[in-house]
Amino acid sequence: MIILMGLAGSGKSTQGQKLAAATGRVWLSAGQILRESGQFDEILNSGNLVDDMLTVEIMAHAMAGVVREGKNLILDGFPRDAKQASWMADNIAEVIEQIILINVPKDELLRRLKARGRADDTEEVILQRFKITEQNMSENSRILEAKGIPTVMIDGTGTPDEVFARLANTIADNHNAV
Helices 123-145 and 106-116, axial angle in degrees (round to 10): 120
Are 59 and 28 contacting, i.e. CB atoms less than 8 angstroms apart?
yes
Whole-number pLDDT of residue 63: 96
**Apex 138 CA angle, 32 and 25, nearest 5:** 40
Are 149 and 99 contacting, i.e. CB atoms less than 8 angstroms apart?
yes
**What percentage of the chain reaches a pLDDT higher than 70?**
97
Report pLDDT digits (tens) over 65-90: 999 999 999 999 899 889 999 999 99
What is the Cα 99 distance to its own chain's centre?
A: 9
Whole-number pLDDT of residue 176: 46
Are 75 and 15 contacting, i.e. CB atoms less than 8 angstroms apart?
no
Q: What pTM does this model have?
A: 0.87
Are 89 and 143 contacting, i.e. CB atoms less than 8 angstroms apart?
yes
The mean of the pLDDT values for the chain is 90
Cβ count within 10 A of residue 25: 19
Report pLDDT digits (tens) over 120-149: 778 888 888 888 888 888 899 999 999 999
State yes or no: pLDDT of 47 exceeds 50: yes
Picking from 101, 103, 90, 68, the residue whose alpha carbon sits closest to that of residue 2 is 101
Whole-number pLDDT of residue 52: 86
CA–CA distance, 162 with 166 (Å, rounded to integer): 7
